[in-house]
Amino acid sequence: MNYLSKIIFALLLIPITIFSNGCDNNLITETSFNEMNQFEVTKNIEWANPNGHSLTMDIYVPQTGKDSYPVLAIFHGGGWLINNNSVMDSMSTYIVQHGDYIVCNINYRLLVDQSNTVTMNQIVEDAMGAVLWIKTHISNYKGNPSKIILTGDSAGGHLAEMIITAGTMLESDGFGGESLGFNPTFLPEGKRAEDVAADNLLEVQAAILSYPAFDIYEACLGGMEKPSNIFWMLGQGNPRGIFGNDFNVEENSELYKAVSTNYLLKDKSEMTYPPHLFIVGTNDNLTTPLSIKKYISQLEEKGHTAEYWEHEGRPHAFLDSWKNQFLGTEFRKDAPPALDRMLEFMNNLFWD
């Protein structure tokens, strides 16, 4: 996909984009009664506050009478520069209405946050921290911390897969030491990053990745950090390196590859990855079906397996909560077939 096509695609997203990751930190609890599952949602639960930046999640709990539920953790998309978790509100509601799953809809920092200083490794650390918070606290909401499914679309899919492929690459000094590791934004009481890695506390039981990004290194070689990436404008930030202005992809490739899942894959003899389901639209020109198939081939070469499902005739971002008249997508007509496939995948793992 050339730069012009990417710019045009991004412009088409403008009518549906939320530009701020800020949110009201007052807890809001609602109960929905309808012909589908009843559920309760508690919104704006603060799970971390790195350098004064409040990170929250919304937790949806089905009211179907079970003592415990598997947990679906959602990371939203938006090129690491735009949107907040509200873009996944409709997906969260659909899943909890149609399945026996608790849903955690997560906010993480964007590159433009904290005066446009957030780095890509910090975003990954937020995603890791959110999962550790969920494992520590979700039993308070009837969630089973030993049955965690990660999902995300586009940039969110990248974060979900980073937890799986880099979940033991943890160091208290993060990217600041002699070697590259991640220091999760939230840590269980009494645990250091190294303890989390040693105990494999970021292990999860399944992953569902919708039109995910994999190769950040290649994307930055192609101009992701440049003004030609319209998402910088949408995120109201000045274009810069994703690790700050002191680093660049040509001279510091090791940084970029450390946040690119395709360079982190391990043989099954070293680490067993959980079951994966990949979902992509046949008309997606941003994350193409070919790129997903290539990644699955890399997984298979390492001894892992994955399921694959194409959404016929759909472009990128068909899971977004709202209607995009330019792309011709609308949640209520485009998302349900994919969400039903997700539910089928999860039900086969957890409720058969």
- What is the token pair recorded at 300? 């298979």
Q: What are the residues whose beta carbons fall under 8 Å from the beta carbon of 149, sequence distance 6 or more?
A: 70, 71, 72, 73, 101, 204, 205, 206, 207, 208, 346
pLDDT at 28: 45
CATH number, domain with residue 180: 3.40.50.1820
Q: Does 304 have pLDDT greater than 90?
A: yes
Q: Does 176 have pLDDT greater than 50?
A: yes
pLDDT at 309: 98
Closest CA to 32 of 74, 67, 64, 70: 64
Give the C-alpha separation, 76 to 291, whole Å.
20
Question: Residues 104-157: pLDDT tens digits?
Answer: 999 999 999 999 999 999 999 999 999 999 999 999 999 999 999 999 999 999
Give the C-alpha separation, 335 to 331, whole Å.
5
Q: Which residue has the higher pLDDT, 30 or 240?
A: 240
CA distances from 217 to 37, 206, 214, 275 (A): 43, 26, 9, 26
**What contacts 24+ positions apart, CB below 8 Å, involve 31-37?**
31/63, 32/93, 32/97, 34/97, 36/97, 36/98, 37/62, 37/63, 37/64, 37/96, 37/97, 37/98, 37/99, 37/100
3-state helix, strand, coil in the chain (%, to 5): 35, 20, 45
Q: Does 333 have pLDDT greater than 90?
A: yes
pLDDT at 35: 61
Q: Which domain holds residue 175?
A: 3-350
Amino acid at 120: M
Q: Does 20 have pLDDT greater than 80?
A: no
Q: Is the dihedral of CA 253, 259, 263, 269 positive or negative?
A: positive
pLDDT at 12: 42
* Average pLDDT over every residue of 315-332: 91
CB 194 within 8 A of CB 172: yes
Interior CA angle at 159 toward 150 and 24, to 5°? 85
pLDDT at 150: 99
Q: Does 16 have pLDDT greater than 70?
A: no
Region at 23 (left for phi over 0; alpha for psi -120 to 50; beta for the rest): beta
Name the average pLDDT for the chain: 91
Q: What is the pTM of this model?
A: 0.92
What total number of domains does the chain contain?
Answer: 1
Q: 27 falls in which pLDDT band (50, 70, 90)?
A: low
Q: What is the C-alpha R_g of the chain?
A: 19
